[in-house]
Every structure is written in structure tokens, then in C-alpha cells.
Structure 1
Amino acid sequence: MNEMAKGNVEAMVEASRIAAKGLETLGQEMAEYGRKSFEHATATAKTLASVKSPTEFMKLQSDFVRQSFDSFVAEASKTTEMMIKLAGDAAQPISNRVAVAADKVKTVA
């Protein structure tokens, strides 16, 4: 029983380590996306401030909105994929322990 409990604790620690590392990576990705978005918005604002006609202003603004939306959709998709992978990776050590427990139950029964 002690060996089983020790294995369970080790699996939880490993799952926590994987989750923490994955969340750190996810946070870095989100910070990078935020930085790039801010830089793009700043550059666009400077460009919009120097336009000469309402038509040019509307075109630039429309392009900015379209690019921002496309970038957001791509980033949301990427983030979702990363989170799904992280969930699977973090659950793996616990899943392995469940398999070990099931094997022990079969052996005892």
C-alpha cells in the first residue's frame, strides 16, 4: 500500500510539474501576442493620424480591423490547441497510475 501511495503522489507531482510548465509557456505566448497586437495598433494609429482623406482613413481602419480579427482567430485556435495538448500531457501520469491500480486489482482478484 505504501508503494502504491508513493507512486500516486509521484504521479500527482509530475502532473503538476507538467501543468505548471505548460501554463508558463502559454502565458509567454499570450504575452507575446499582446505585445505584437499593441505594436500593430500603435503603428496603425500613427498611420491613421497622417492620412489625407476620409476614404484613405476608412480603408486603413478597415484593413486594421480585418487583420486584427484574423490574428485573434488564429491566436485563439493556437491557444486552444495548446490547452488541449497540455490537458492530455498533464493527465498522462495520473492515467498511468490508474492503469497500474487496475492491474493490481486484477492480480488480487
Structure 2
Amino acid sequence: MINGFDDIQKLGKDNMDYAMKSFGSFSKGMQSLAVEMADYSKKSFEDSAATMEKLMAAKSIDKAMEIQTDYVKSTYEGFVAQATKVGELYADLAKDAYKPFEGMVAKASK
């Protein structure tokens, strides 16, 4: 009977260890995402401000349209690249958060 209690206690400790490792991975991944989004937001703001300055200095409508077109194109390309990068970060986050539980699943399936 005592052996059964020890097994339950060890299982509870193992599960807590898995959960803490998973939480650590999740926390680290969320920090990476937050840093990435903050960097993207800062760059986006700086690009917008630089474009606005260029537009204010434009001497003709044609030049203003060219500046605006270049801005829209670069912004779209930057957004697509950022979305891809964030998608990869989320996928990595999910994989890293699940890793600690792989051992538990392997034990349970035996």
C-alpha cells in the first residue's frame, strides 16, 4: 500500500515538473513574440514617419504618388515577412511547450 502512495506522489511530482517546464517554454516563447512585435511596431512607425517627411517635401503630385506607392509596397512586403516570422514563432512555441509532456505520453502508452 505504501508503495502505491509513493508511486502516486512521484507521478504528481513528475506532472508538476512537466507543467513547470512547459510553462517556462511558453513564457520564453511569449517574450520572444512580444519583443518581435515591439520591434516591428517601432520599425513600422519609423517608416511611416520617414514616408510622411518625404511626402511633405515632394514637389509634385507624381513624386508624391511614387513615394506613396513605394511605401505601400514595402509595407505590404514587410507585413507578409513579419506574419511568416510570427507564424514560425508560434509553431516553435507550441512545439517547445509540448516537449516536456512527450515523456509522459510515452510512459502512459506503455
Deviations, residues 2-26 of structure 1 (Å, cap 9, x unaligned) = 1111101110111001000110111
- In the other structure, the counterpart of 1:25 is 32
The one-letter amino acid of 1:81's match is: E
- Map residues 67-78 of structure 1 onto 2, 5 A cutoff: 67-78=74-85
Which residue, out of 61, 78, 101, partners 1:94? 101
User: Equivalent residue of 2:98, what SS?
Assistant: helix
State, as a whole percentage, how many aligned pairs show the same letter: 35
- In the other structure, the counterpart of 1:6 is 13
TM-score in terms of structure 2 length: 0.90
The one-letter amino acid of 1:75's match is: Q
**1:15 corresponds to 2:22:** yes
Structure 1: which 5+ residue stretches go unaligned? Answer: 104-109
Structure 2: which 5+ residue stretches go unaligned? Answer: 1-7
Runs of 4+ in 1 over 6 A off after TM superposition: none
Cα distance in 1 for residues equivalent to 2:103 and 2:84: 29
TM-score in terms of structure 1 length: 0.91
